[in-house]
Amino acid sequence: MSKDKSQRPKARLPRGFRDRSGAELAAERGLLETIRRVYEAYGFEPLETPAFEYTDALGKFLPDVDRPNEGVFSLKDDDEQWLSLRYDLTAPLARHVAANFQTLAKPFRRYAVGTVWRNEKPGPGRFREFTQFDADTVGSANPAADAELLMMLADTLEALGLKRGDYIIKLNNRKLLDGVLEAGGIALDDRARRGIVLRAIDKLDRLGVEGVAALLGAGRKDESGDFTKGAGLSDEQAHRILAFVAPDAKDEEEHLNQIAQLVQSSATGAAGLTELEAIVRILGACGYGPDRIMFDTGVVRGLDYYTGAVFEAQLTFPVTNEDGEEVVFGSVAGGGRYDDLVARFTGQRVPATGISIGVSRLLAALSARGLNAAAQAPLIVVTVFDKADSPAAFLMVGEMRAAGLRAEVYVGNGKMGDQFKYADKRGAAIAIVEGPDERAQGLVTLKDLALGAELAKNVESRAEWVGNRQAQVSVKRAALVSEIQKLLKRDS
């Protein structure tokens, strides 16, 4: 190895990426299994697609489209073709359906879980690499397919421990907004301007009406001084859009009347109202009322490929952010209908609808609510009194693992004190000692580390600690597994 320190790489993470430890991964694994069970109960089946796709397959629906690698992480293959890490799990699904259209059962119903990557500006709680869990129905224009996904999403959130009132799923239809834009003189084929409008509206919760109004007009400068160019709409056009997404109506009936007036000259808007009514009728008949799923014109979803119903699951309870401020957690899932995405490959319109859960964000919300989906099984560490005792230690862990326990042998070079420190640092529940004296009597000693740590907080003298022996017990070696199970049951 070079002695020149300047030649050594610096141990650092790329911006927007992070390392994750065992406890978080165990909780995520439990969350994913719960979601999987609900999705499979609804009849959806898994599909796995590769991390890389040809960049042109990801389409023109990305946030930035001026360069092939803007918004996505890209590289050139050895045949000079651009490849990109997938931005979401929907574009790969569209490519899969297009390639296998003739052989798939239709409607095609699949779920997928995997990592996605976005080459965007990172920030607090905003990473460039994260996990999504999607479910999609491809090949059905029936609003019942949208209603089913909404019901499944509500069932999933409740299966994870959230109660009604902890969340709300908001429903809208992009055809209503298209009708407003069309009636306001913004052509539906003006995709660039429509994209700016959609991304501006999608920031309504964060920026408020004033911030969105600026983005609909000339543009907006953020707190860092960066300027975002706006859609360049007139005041009248901007007012029409804001009246739709942020209505001043006193009640739902007045709101619907406002919408009807805004889209009255648009056949597209009228079609959106009809579809919404069909979805709400199914939801109501199945008991999914506005306490779980409600109509909200402020939900538009930022991506430009949505063509009909759009939905977003938001958590309503407050959490404390990194600055110590109490805030509402917000969106953890979303989706909608995207009837044009497969047609990019085939030229044939294929109706589709889907939902996507932001796994990392939902996991953080559940943790804040004290609803960890799962924790790692308690760890048992078998100490080694002498290196010659290693075979006996491995026999012990073999018995424990056969009984479904999580156990390991200390394989380092430390003395007994070091081994206990290691077990503490690993968060072990129990440490096992089999020294010469224990072995001669056919015994092993179990140290309840969790209980010992709690007792250590409360004792005021060494004498009291020595007299308090609940945290350490000697048991028959032949009864090792059953005694550990009793101890773990007591602690739980």
Three-state SS for the chain is CCCCHHHCCCCCCCCCCCCCCHHHHHHHHHHHHHHHHHHHHCCCEECCCCCEEEHHHHCCCCCCCCCCCCECCEEECCCCCEEEECCCCHHHHHHHHHHCCCCCCCCEEEEEEEEEECECCCECCECCEEEEEEEEEECCCCHHHHHHHHHHHHHHHHHCCCCECCEEEEEEEHHHHHHHHHHCCCCCCCHHHHHHHHHHHCCHHHHHHHHHHHHHCCEEECCCCCEEECCCCCHHHHHHHHHHHCCCCCCHHHHHHHHHHHCCCCHHHHHHHHHHHHHHHHHHHCCCCCCCEEECCCCCCCCCCCCCEEEEEEEEEEEECCCCCEEEEEEEEEEEECCCCCHHHHCCCCCEEEEEEEHHHHHHHHHHCCCCCCCCCCEEEECCCCHHHHHHHHHHHHHHHHCCCEEEECCCCCCHHHHHHHHHHCCCCEEEECCHHHHHCCEEEEEEHHHHHHHHHHCCCHHHHHHCCCCEEEEEHHHHHHHHHHHHHHHC
In 3D space, the residue among 293, 360, 359 whose CA is nearest the CA of residue 153 turns out to be 293
Which of 340, 368, 396 is the last residue before a domain boundary?
A: 368
Residues 6+ apart with CB under 8 A from 176: 244, 259, 263, 269, 272, 273, 276, 297
- Enter the pTM of the model: 0.78
- Are 173 and 201 members of one domain? yes
Q: What angle do CA 22, 92, 358 make, to 5 degrees?
A: 40
- Are 234 and 321 members of one domain? yes
Asked if residue 253 belongs to a domain, the reply is yes
Q: What is the pLDDT of residue 302?
A: 61
222 Cα distance to chain centroid: 27
Asked if residue 465 belongs to a domain, the reply is yes
In 3D space, the residue among 465, 461, 462 whose CA is nearest the CA of residue 451 turns out to be 465
Query: Which CATH number is 264's domain given?
Result: 3.30.930.10
As given in the structure block, the two tokens for residue 316 are 């309503």
Sole residue written with tokens 């996505």: 72
Is residue 193 within 8 Å of residue 229, measured between CB atoms?
no
- Are 358 and 398 members of one domain? no
Q: What is the pLDDT of residue 61?
A: 47
Q: 13-39 as b/e, with b when 16 or more CB fall inside 10 Å? A: eeebeeeeeeebebbbebbbebbbebb
Number of domains present in the structure of the chain = 2
Asked if residue 5 belongs to a domain, the reply is no
Q: What is the pLDDT of residue 64?
A: 46
Asked if residue 374 belongs to a domain, the reply is no
- Are 40 and 106 members of one domain? yes
Asked if residue 1 belongs to a domain, the reply is no
Which of 327, 343, 368 is the last residue before a domain boundary?
A: 368
- Are 360 and 385 members of one domain? no
Q: What is the pLDDT of residue 218?
A: 85
Q: Return d(Cα 255, Cα 295) in angstroms, integer.
A: 11
Q: Return d(Cα 320, Cα 166) in angstroms, integer.
A: 16
- Are 268 and 293 members of one domain? yes
- Are 74 and 213 members of one domain? yes
The angle that helices 174-183 and 267-285 make with each other, rounded to 10 degrees, is 160
| Chain segment 284-318, per-residue pLDDT in tens | 999 999 999 998 887 877 666 788 999 999 999 88
- Are 351 and 393 members of one domain? no
Residue 482 backbone phi and psi in degrees, to 5? -65, -35
- Are 105 and 246 members of one domain? yes
Q: What is the pLDDT of residue 107?
A: 95
Asked if residue 2 belongs to a domain, the reply is no
Q: Which residues of the chain have pLDDT under 50?
A: 61-67, 462, 465-467, 469
| Chain segment 372-390, per-residue pLDDT in tens | 656 678 999 999 999 999 9
- Are 143 and 52 members of one domain? yes
- Are 286 and 386 members of one domain? no
Query: Which CATH number is 437's domain given?
Result: 3.40.50.800
Q: What is the pLDDT of residue 469?
A: 46
Which of 333, 368, 403 is the last residue before a domain boundary?
A: 368
Sign (positive or negative) of CA dihedral 304, 335, 198, 69: negative
Residue 166 backbone phi and psi in degrees, to 5? -80, -20
In which domain, by residue range, is 442 found?
Answer: 379-491
Q: What one-letter code names the amino acid at 126?
A: R
- Are 388 and 351 members of one domain? no
Asked if residue 444 belongs to a domain, the reply is yes
Asked if residue 16 belongs to a domain, the reply is no
